[in-house]
Protein backbone atom coordinates (compact mmCIF):
# COMPACT_ATOMS: atom_id res chain seq x y z
CA UNK A 1 0.00 0.00 0.00
CA UNK A 2 1.36 3.41 -0.93
CA UNK A 3 -1.39 6.03 -0.46
CA UNK A 4 -4.64 6.76 1.37
CA UNK A 5 -7.00 9.42 0.01
CA UNK A 6 -4.24 10.63 -2.30
CA UNK A 7 -1.66 11.12 0.48
CA UNK A 8 1.35 9.02 1.46
CA UNK A 9 0.30 6.16 3.72
CA UNK A 10 2.25 5.82 6.97
CA UNK A 11 1.53 2.81 9.14
CA UNK A 12 3.15 2.99 12.59
CA UNK A 13 2.02 -0.20 14.31
CA UNK A 14 0.80 -3.77 13.85
CA UNK A 15 -2.68 -2.72 14.94
CA UNK A 16 -2.86 0.02 12.28
CA UNK A 17 -1.74 -2.47 9.62
CA UNK A 18 -4.42 -4.96 10.61
CA UNK A 19 -7.03 -2.16 10.54
CA UNK A 20 -6.01 -1.24 6.96
CA UNK A 21 -6.24 -4.88 5.85
CA UNK A 22 -9.72 -5.20 7.36
CA UNK A 23 -10.89 -2.08 5.49
CA UNK A 24 -9.37 -3.20 2.18
CA UNK A 25 -11.14 -6.52 1.90
CA UNK A 26 -9.84 -9.10 -0.57
CA UNK A 27 -10.53 -7.36 -3.91
CA UNK A 28 -8.45 -4.62 -5.59
CA UNK A 29 -9.40 -2.79 -8.79
CA UNK A 30 -6.82 -2.10 -11.51
CA UNK A 31 -6.60 1.69 -11.78
CA UNK A 32 -3.76 2.05 -14.30
CA UNK A 33 -1.08 0.10 -16.18
CA UNK A 34 2.23 1.55 -17.38
CA UNK A 35 5.40 0.30 -18.97
CA UNK A 36 8.68 2.10 -19.42
CA UNK A 37 11.86 1.04 -21.19
CA UNK A 38 15.07 1.60 -19.25
CA UNK A 39 18.64 0.38 -19.30
CA UNK A 40 21.37 -0.64 -16.86
CA UNK A 41 24.87 0.37 -17.89
CA UNK A 42 27.84 -1.87 -17.12
CA UNK A 43 30.03 -1.00 -14.17
CA UNK A 44 33.55 0.28 -14.62
CA UNK A 45 36.55 -2.06 -14.57
CA UNK A 46 38.12 -2.69 -11.18
CA UNK A 47 40.26 -0.32 -9.16
CA UNK A 48 42.11 -1.57 -6.08
CA UNK A 49 39.37 -0.51 -3.68
CA UNK A 50 36.66 -2.12 -5.82
CA UNK A 51 38.69 -5.32 -6.15
CA UNK A 52 39.04 -5.56 -2.36
CA UNK A 53 35.34 -4.85 -1.87
CA UNK A 54 34.10 -7.29 -4.53
CA UNK A 55 36.42 -10.08 -3.34
CA UNK A 56 35.11 -9.54 0.18
CA UNK A 57 31.48 -9.55 -0.95
CA UNK A 58 31.66 -12.49 -3.38
CA UNK A 59 34.25 -14.75 -1.75
CA UNK A 60 34.72 -13.51 1.83
CA UNK A 61 38.42 -12.80 1.19
CA UNK A 62 40.28 -10.42 3.50
CA UNK A 63 41.94 -7.38 1.94
CA UNK A 64 45.39 -8.79 2.65
CA UNK A 65 44.56 -12.15 1.06
CA UNK A 66 43.11 -10.51 -2.05
CA UNK A 67 46.21 -8.35 -2.56
CA UNK A 68 48.52 -11.34 -2.17
CA UNK A 69 46.51 -13.31 -4.74
CA UNK A 70 46.52 -10.36 -7.14
CA UNK A 71 50.28 -10.05 -6.67
CA UNK A 72 50.82 -13.64 -7.81
CA UNK A 73 48.60 -13.07 -10.85
CA UNK A 74 50.51 -9.89 -11.68
CA UNK A 75 54.01 -11.30 -11.27
CA UNK A 76 53.97 -14.70 -12.94
CA UNK A 77 51.94 -17.87 -13.37
CA UNK A 78 53.25 -21.07 -14.90
CA UNK A 79 50.99 -21.88 -17.84
CA UNK A 80 52.09 -24.99 -19.62
CA UNK A 81 55.63 -24.37 -20.86
CA UNK A 82 55.69 -20.62 -20.28
CA UNK A 83 55.56 -18.24 -17.33
CA UNK A 84 53.50 -15.08 -17.64
CA UNK A 85 51.62 -12.48 -15.68
CA UNK A 86 47.85 -12.56 -16.15
CA UNK A 87 46.76 -9.10 -14.96
CA UNK A 88 47.96 -5.51 -15.06
CA UNK A 89 49.26 -3.67 -12.00
CA UNK A 90 46.75 -4.06 -9.19
CA UNK A 91 47.47 -0.95 -7.09
CA UNK A 92 45.52 1.70 -8.95
CA UNK A 93 42.56 4.04 -8.56
CA UNK A 94 42.07 4.67 -12.28
CA UNK A 95 39.16 3.28 -14.31
CA UNK A 96 40.82 3.93 -17.68
CA UNK A 97 41.73 1.12 -20.09
CA UNK A 98 44.36 1.25 -22.80
CA UNK A 99 43.12 1.80 -26.40
CA UNK A 100 44.87 -1.42 -27.49
CA UNK A 101 43.02 -3.50 -24.90
CA UNK A 102 39.70 -1.82 -25.71
CA UNK A 103 40.04 -2.70 -29.40
CA UNK A 104 41.01 -6.30 -28.59
CA UNK A 105 38.07 -6.64 -26.19
CA UNK A 106 35.62 -5.26 -28.75
CA UNK A 107 36.83 -7.81 -31.29
CA UNK A 108 36.47 -10.58 -28.70
CA UNK A 109 32.92 -9.49 -27.85
CA UNK A 110 31.98 -9.32 -31.53
CA UNK A 111 33.36 -12.80 -32.21
CA UNK A 112 31.90 -14.50 -29.12
CA UNK A 113 28.60 -12.68 -28.47
CA UNK A 114 27.78 -10.70 -31.62
CA UNK A 115 28.11 -7.09 -32.80
CA UNK A 116 25.02 -6.00 -30.87
CA UNK A 117 26.92 -6.66 -27.61
CA UNK A 118 29.86 -4.39 -28.47
CA UNK A 119 29.73 -1.21 -26.40
CA UNK A 120 32.27 1.43 -25.53
CA UNK A 121 34.66 2.12 -22.68
CA UNK A 122 32.87 4.74 -20.63
CA UNK A 123 35.05 7.57 -19.42
CA UNK A 124 34.59 8.68 -15.83
CA UNK A 125 35.92 12.03 -14.73
CA UNK A 126 38.96 11.32 -12.58
CA UNK A 127 39.03 12.99 -9.18
CA UNK A 128 41.95 14.96 -7.87
CA UNK A 129 42.93 11.96 -5.75
CA UNK A 130 43.48 9.60 -8.66
CA UNK A 131 47.11 8.68 -9.05
CA UNK A 132 47.84 8.86 -12.69
CA UNK A 133 50.09 6.38 -14.44
CA UNK A 134 48.27 3.05 -14.19
CA UNK A 135 45.23 1.61 -15.93
CA UNK A 136 42.33 -0.08 -14.24
CA UNK A 137 42.98 -3.70 -13.24
CA UNK A 138 42.41 -5.90 -16.29
CA UNK A 139 43.63 -9.13 -17.89
CA UNK A 140 46.86 -8.82 -19.87
CA UNK A 141 45.23 -10.70 -22.77
CA UNK A 142 41.45 -10.86 -23.18
CA UNK A 143 41.85 -14.10 -25.13
CA UNK A 144 43.15 -15.90 -22.01
CA UNK A 145 39.76 -16.83 -20.58
CA UNK A 146 39.48 -17.90 -16.93
CA UNK A 147 38.58 -21.48 -17.78
CA UNK A 148 41.57 -21.71 -20.14
CA UNK A 149 43.97 -21.32 -17.20
CA UNK A 150 41.86 -23.00 -14.48
CA UNK A 151 44.17 -26.03 -14.25
CA UNK A 152 47.21 -23.80 -13.62
CA UNK A 153 45.67 -21.75 -10.78
CA UNK A 154 44.55 -22.64 -7.30
CA UNK A 155 40.86 -22.00 -6.58
CA UNK A 156 41.44 -18.61 -4.93
CA UNK A 157 43.63 -17.34 -7.78
CA UNK A 158 41.02 -18.55 -10.27
CA UNK A 159 38.25 -16.63 -8.49
CA UNK A 160 40.21 -13.38 -8.44
CA UNK A 161 41.29 -13.71 -12.07
CA UNK A 162 37.72 -14.43 -13.18
CA UNK A 163 36.43 -11.43 -11.22
CA UNK A 164 38.97 -9.11 -12.86
CA UNK A 165 38.37 -10.61 -16.31
CA UNK A 166 34.57 -10.35 -16.17
CA UNK A 167 34.51 -6.79 -14.84
CA UNK A 168 36.97 -5.58 -17.52
CA UNK A 169 35.12 -7.32 -20.36
CA UNK A 170 31.65 -6.31 -19.18
CA UNK A 171 32.70 -2.65 -18.95
CA UNK A 172 33.04 -2.57 -22.78
CA UNK A 173 29.71 -4.26 -23.49
CA UNK A 174 26.31 -2.71 -24.16
CA UNK A 175 23.72 -1.91 -21.53
CA UNK A 176 21.09 -4.35 -20.34
CA UNK A 177 17.66 -3.21 -21.56
CA UNK A 178 14.50 -3.66 -19.50
CA UNK A 179 10.84 -2.87 -19.62
CA UNK A 180 9.52 -1.90 -16.19
CA UNK A 181 5.88 -2.95 -15.91
CA UNK A 182 3.84 -1.19 -13.21
CA UNK A 183 0.32 -1.98 -12.08
CA UNK A 184 -1.66 0.49 -9.95
CA UNK A 185 -4.57 -0.70 -7.79
CA UNK A 186 -7.19 0.95 -5.57
CA UNK A 187 -9.76 -0.09 -2.99
CA UNK A 188 -11.63 1.87 -0.31
CA UNK A 189 -9.58 5.07 -0.91
CA UNK A 190 -6.33 3.10 -0.63
CA UNK A 191 -3.82 2.87 -3.48
CA UNK A 192 -1.22 0.19 -4.13
CA UNK A 193 1.28 -0.59 -6.84
CA UNK A 194 3.37 -3.50 -8.05
CA UNK A 195 6.21 -3.66 -10.54
CA UNK A 196 8.19 -6.26 -12.45
CA UNK A 197 11.14 -6.09 -14.84
CA UNK A 198 11.16 -7.77 -18.23
CA UNK A 199 14.60 -8.17 -19.82
CA UNK A 200 14.38 -7.47 -23.54
CA UNK A 201 18.15 -7.46 -24.20
CA UNK A 202 20.71 -8.88 -21.72
CA UNK A 203 23.74 -6.84 -22.84
CA UNK A 204 26.62 -7.07 -20.33
CA UNK A 205 24.50 -9.17 -17.96
CA UNK A 206 25.22 -12.27 -20.10
CA UNK A 207 28.42 -12.43 -18.05
CA UNK A 208 26.66 -12.48 -14.66
CA UNK A 209 26.51 -16.26 -14.64
CA UNK A 210 30.32 -16.38 -14.92
CA UNK A 211 30.46 -15.10 -11.34
CA UNK A 212 27.43 -17.12 -10.21
CA UNK A 213 25.50 -13.90 -9.59
CA UNK A 214 22.82 -14.35 -12.20
CA UNK A 215 19.38 -13.53 -10.85
CA UNK A 216 16.14 -14.19 -12.64
CA UNK A 217 14.25 -10.97 -13.13
CA UNK A 218 11.07 -12.65 -11.97
CA UNK A 219 8.93 -11.17 -14.74
CA UNK A 220 5.56 -12.77 -15.20
CA UNK A 221 3.19 -11.32 -17.76
CA UNK A 222 -0.13 -10.38 -16.11
CA UNK A 223 -3.16 -10.19 -18.35
CA UNK A 224 -4.74 -7.23 -16.57
CA UNK A 225 -6.99 -4.59 -18.07
CA UNK A 226 -7.85 -1.28 -16.48
CA UNK A 227 -11.00 -1.75 -14.42
CA UNK A 228 -10.39 -5.45 -13.71
CA UNK A 229 -11.05 -6.73 -10.20
CA UNK A 230 -8.15 -8.68 -8.75
CA UNK A 231 -8.62 -11.07 -5.85
CA UNK A 232 -6.00 -10.81 -3.10
CA UNK A 233 -4.74 -14.18 -1.84
CA UNK A 234 -3.08 -12.80 1.28
CA UNK A 235 -1.58 -9.69 2.87
CA UNK A 236 1.90 -9.62 4.39
CA UNK A 237 2.69 -7.30 7.30
CA UNK A 238 6.40 -6.50 7.47
CA UNK A 239 8.19 -4.55 10.18
CA UNK A 240 10.63 -2.13 8.52
CA UNK A 241 11.71 -0.19 11.60
CA UNK A 242 14.99 1.70 11.37
CA UNK A 243 18.02 -0.41 12.28
CA UNK A 244 21.29 0.89 13.73
CA UNK A 245 24.23 1.20 11.32
CA UNK A 246 25.66 -2.20 10.43
CA UNK A 247 29.24 -3.14 11.28
CA UNK A 248 31.83 -2.78 8.56
CA UNK A 249 33.14 -5.67 6.55
CA UNK A 250 36.69 -5.27 5.24
CA UNK A 251 35.31 -4.39 1.81
CA UNK A 252 32.99 -1.74 3.26
CA UNK A 253 35.84 -0.29 5.32
CA UNK A 254 37.95 0.05 2.18
CA UNK A 255 35.05 1.86 0.49
CA UNK A 256 34.78 4.25 3.46
CA UNK A 257 38.54 4.88 3.37
CA UNK A 258 38.31 5.73 -0.33
CA UNK A 259 35.31 8.03 0.17
CA UNK A 260 37.02 9.98 2.95
CA UNK A 261 40.40 10.15 1.23
CA UNK A 262 42.20 7.96 3.75
CA UNK A 263 44.95 5.79 2.29
CA UNK A 264 45.86 4.84 -1.24
CA UNK A 265 45.60 1.67 -3.36
CA UNK A 266 49.01 0.60 -2.07
CA UNK A 267 48.04 1.04 1.61
CA UNK A 268 44.40 -0.14 1.98
CA UNK A 269 45.22 -3.80 2.67
CA UNK A 270 48.35 -3.00 4.73
CA UNK A 271 46.37 -0.65 6.97
CA UNK A 272 43.63 -3.21 7.65
CA UNK A 273 46.17 -5.97 8.29
CA UNK A 274 47.90 -3.76 10.87
CA UNK A 275 44.57 -3.20 12.58
CA UNK A 276 43.96 -6.97 12.63
CA UNK A 277 47.27 -7.54 14.37
CA UNK A 278 46.43 -5.44 17.43
CA UNK A 279 43.13 -3.59 17.39
CA UNK A 280 40.29 -5.47 15.65
CA UNK A 281 39.05 -8.97 15.01
CA UNK A 282 36.90 -10.20 12.13
CA UNK A 283 34.00 -12.54 12.91
CA UNK A 284 31.83 -13.91 10.10
CA UNK A 285 33.08 -11.18 7.79
CA UNK A 286 32.30 -8.29 10.19
CA UNK A 287 34.82 -6.12 12.04
CA UNK A 288 34.71 -5.85 15.85
CA UNK A 289 37.06 -3.62 17.86
CA UNK A 290 39.17 -5.32 20.53
CA UNK A 291 39.43 -3.77 24.03
CA UNK A 292 42.93 -2.56 23.19
CA UNK A 293 41.64 -0.93 20.01
CA UNK A 294 38.83 0.84 21.86
CA UNK A 295 41.27 2.12 24.49
CA UNK A 296 43.76 3.41 21.90
CA UNK A 297 40.96 5.10 19.93
CA UNK A 298 39.58 6.78 23.06
CA UNK A 299 42.94 8.17 24.20
CA UNK A 300 44.06 9.34 20.76
CA UNK A 301 40.76 11.16 20.23
CA UNK A 302 41.18 12.82 23.61
CA UNK A 303 44.84 13.83 23.53
CA UNK A 304 45.97 13.95 19.87
CA UNK A 305 42.67 14.93 18.29
CA UNK A 306 44.02 17.61 15.92
CA UNK A 307 46.45 15.22 14.23
CA UNK A 308 44.71 11.84 14.59
CA UNK A 309 41.41 12.39 12.80
CA UNK A 310 39.88 11.63 9.41
CA UNK A 311 39.83 15.20 8.12
CA UNK A 312 43.46 15.92 8.94
CA UNK A 313 44.65 12.59 7.50
CA UNK A 314 42.74 13.25 4.25
CA UNK A 315 44.27 16.72 4.15
CA UNK A 316 47.77 15.23 4.47
CA UNK A 317 47.01 12.76 1.67
CA UNK A 318 46.19 15.72 -0.58
CA UNK A 319 49.39 17.45 0.47
CA UNK A 320 51.37 14.36 -0.54
CA UNK A 321 49.81 14.54 -4.00
CA UNK A 322 50.69 18.23 -4.25
CA UNK A 323 54.27 17.55 -3.12
CA UNK A 324 54.58 15.00 -5.92
CA UNK A 325 53.43 17.58 -8.48
CA UNK A 326 55.58 20.28 -6.80
CA UNK A 327 52.52 22.47 -6.05
CA UNK A 328 53.66 22.85 -2.42
CA UNK A 329 57.01 22.72 -0.66
CA UNK A 330 57.54 19.46 1.24
CA UNK A 331 59.53 21.16 4.04
CA UNK A 332 56.64 23.55 4.75
CA UNK A 333 54.17 20.64 4.92
CA UNK A 334 56.46 18.64 7.22
CA UNK A 335 57.03 21.67 9.46
CA UNK A 336 53.28 22.24 9.84
CA UNK A 337 52.76 18.57 10.71
CA UNK A 338 55.71 18.46 13.08
CA UNK A 339 54.71 21.61 14.99
CA UNK A 340 51.17 20.34 15.54
CA UNK A 341 52.18 16.82 16.41
CA UNK A 342 55.02 17.69 18.80
CA UNK A 343 52.74 20.05 20.73
CA UNK A 344 50.00 17.42 21.09
CA UNK A 345 52.46 14.63 21.87
CA UNK A 346 54.06 16.69 24.65
CA UNK A 347 50.64 17.36 26.14
CA UNK A 348 49.72 13.66 25.91
CA UNK A 349 52.93 12.52 27.61
CA UNK A 350 52.32 14.97 30.45
CA UNK A 351 48.62 14.40 31.03
CA UNK A 352 47.57 11.02 29.58
CA UNK A 353 47.07 8.59 32.49
CA UNK A 354 49.30 5.54 32.44
CA UNK A 355 48.38 2.09 33.62
CA UNK A 356 50.10 1.13 36.84
CA UNK A 357 51.59 -2.33 37.06
CA UNK A 358 49.74 -4.36 39.70
CA UNK A 359 51.59 -7.32 41.16
CA UNK A 360 49.90 -10.64 41.89
CA UNK A 361 50.14 -11.36 45.60
CA UNK A 362 52.00 -14.46 46.82
CA UNK A 363 52.95 -15.63 43.32
CA UNK A 364 56.22 -15.54 41.41
CA UNK A 365 57.16 -16.54 37.88
CA UNK A 366 57.93 -20.30 37.78
CA UNK A 367 60.47 -19.72 34.97
CA UNK A 368 62.65 -16.94 36.39
CA UNK A 369 61.43 -16.20 39.91
CA UNK A 370 60.43 -12.57 39.24
CA UNK A 371 57.08 -11.14 40.28
CA UNK A 372 53.91 -11.87 38.29
CA UNK A 373 51.81 -8.88 37.20
CA UNK A 374 48.45 -8.21 35.59
CA UNK A 375 48.69 -7.18 31.93
CA UNK A 376 46.32 -6.27 29.10
CA UNK A 377 46.63 -7.97 25.74
CA UNK A 378 44.84 -8.32 22.43
CA UNK A 379 42.11 -10.56 23.87
CA UNK A 380 41.81 -9.03 27.34
CA UNK A 381 43.68 -9.19 30.63
CA UNK A 382 46.12 -11.92 31.68
CA UNK A 383 48.85 -12.62 34.21
CA UNK A 384 52.44 -12.61 32.99
CA UNK A 385 56.02 -12.17 34.14
CA UNK A 386 57.12 -8.67 35.15
CA UNK A 387 60.47 -9.24 33.40
CA UNK A 388 58.90 -9.34 29.92
CA UNK A 389 60.32 -9.40 27.23
CA UNK A 390 63.31 -11.15 28.83
CA UNK A 391 60.87 -13.72 30.19
CA UNK A 392 57.72 -14.52 28.23
CA UNK A 393 55.88 -16.61 30.84
CA UNK A 394 52.08 -16.29 30.81
CA UNK A 395 50.05 -17.97 33.48
CA UNK A 396 47.45 -20.31 31.98
CA UNK A 397 43.89 -19.24 32.72
CA UNK A 398 41.69 -21.55 34.73
CA UNK A 399 39.75 -23.62 32.24
CA UNK A 400 36.04 -24.30 32.69
CA UNK A 401 35.18 -27.54 30.90
CA UNK A 402 31.53 -27.98 29.83
CA UNK A 403 29.86 -31.25 30.86
CA UNK A 404 29.30 -32.30 27.25
CA UNK A 405 32.86 -31.46 26.08
CA UNK A 406 34.48 -34.14 23.90
CA UNK A 407 37.75 -35.77 24.89
CA UNK A 408 40.76 -34.49 22.92
CA UNK A 409 41.50 -37.01 20.12
CA UNK A 410 45.24 -36.22 20.25
CA UNK A 411 46.22 -36.56 23.92
CA UNK A 412 43.18 -38.35 25.33
CA UNK A 413 43.44 -36.40 28.59
CA UNK A 414 42.14 -32.91 27.83
CA UNK A 415 38.76 -31.84 26.50
CA UNK A 416 37.79 -29.71 23.51
CA UNK A 417 36.76 -26.22 24.57
CA UNK A 418 36.09 -22.94 22.77
CA UNK A 419 39.18 -20.78 22.32
CA UNK A 420 39.76 -17.39 20.73
CA UNK A 421 42.48 -16.90 18.12
CA UNK A 422 43.68 -14.28 15.67
CA UNK A 423 41.09 -15.30 13.07
CA UNK A 424 38.16 -16.04 15.38
CA UNK A 425 36.89 -18.86 17.55
CA UNK A 426 37.92 -22.52 17.30
CA UNK A 427 37.93 -25.74 19.34
CA UNK A 428 41.18 -26.52 21.15
CA UNK A 429 42.49 -28.87 23.82
CA UNK A 430 42.02 -27.73 27.44
CA UNK A 431 45.61 -28.85 28.17
CA UNK A 432 47.15 -26.22 25.89
CA UNK A 433 50.09 -25.48 25.64
CA UNK A 434 51.00 -29.06 26.64
CA UNK A 435 48.69 -30.26 23.84
CA UNK A 436 48.24 -28.10 20.74
CA UNK A 437 45.30 -29.95 19.13
CA UNK A 438 42.72 -27.68 17.47
CA UNK A 439 39.89 -27.93 14.97
CA UNK A 440 37.43 -25.48 13.38
CA UNK A 441 33.81 -25.27 14.39
CA UNK A 442 31.60 -27.46 12.25
CA UNK A 443 29.28 -25.42 10.08
CA UNK A 444 25.64 -25.80 11.01
CA UNK A 445 22.78 -25.45 8.56
CA UNK A 446 19.73 -23.54 9.69
CA UNK A 447 16.34 -24.16 8.16
CA UNK A 448 13.39 -21.82 8.29
CA UNK A 449 10.30 -23.44 9.74
CA UNK A 450 7.63 -23.97 7.13
The residues annotated with a catalytic role in the active site are: 89
| Integer Cα distance of 363 and 318 in angstroms | 54
Which residues 6+ apart lie within 8 Å of 21 measured at CB?
235, 237
* Beta bridge partners of residue 371, listed in sequence order: 364
- For 260-392, strand residue ranges (E) read 280-283, 286-289, 359-364, 371-377, 380-385
Residue 376 · residue 355 · CB < 8 Å: yes
Sign of the torsion angle spanned by Cα atoms 375, 376, 378, 381: positive
Which residues 6+ apart lie within 8 Å of 210 measured at CB?
146, 162, 166
Which residues 6+ apart lie within 8 Å of 403 measured at CB?
none
Residue 71 · residue 159 · CB < 8 Å: no
Using only the alpha carbons of the chain, give its radius of gyration: 30
Residue 177 · residue 200 · CB < 8 Å: yes
**DSSP-derived secondary structure for 67-124:** HHHHHHHHH-EEETTEEE--B--S--------HHHHHHHHHHHHHHT-GGGB------
Residue 160 · residue 70 · CB < 8 Å: yes
Specify burial of residue 198 (Cβ count, 10 A radius: 0-12, 13-18, 19+). middle
Closest CA to 179 of 213, 209, 215, 221: 221
Stated as kind and residue range, the H or E segment containing 182 is strand 176-187
Backbone angles phi, psi at 290, to 5 degrees: -85, 160
Backbone angles phi, psi at 27, to 5 degrees: -130, 130
Amino acid sequence: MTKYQGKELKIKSQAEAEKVIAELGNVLVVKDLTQEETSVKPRFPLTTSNLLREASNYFGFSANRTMKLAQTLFESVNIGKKTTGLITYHRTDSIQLSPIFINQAKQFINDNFGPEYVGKAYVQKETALVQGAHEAIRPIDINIKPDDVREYLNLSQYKIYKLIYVRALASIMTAKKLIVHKSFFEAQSYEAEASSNEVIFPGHSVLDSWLSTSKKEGYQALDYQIGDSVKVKDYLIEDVSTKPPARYSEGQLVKKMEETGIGRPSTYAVTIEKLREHYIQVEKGLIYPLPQGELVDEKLREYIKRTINVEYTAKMEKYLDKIETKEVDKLEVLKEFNDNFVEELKNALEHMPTQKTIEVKDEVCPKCGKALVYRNGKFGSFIGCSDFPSCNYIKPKEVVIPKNAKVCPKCGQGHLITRQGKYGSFLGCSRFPDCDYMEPFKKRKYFRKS
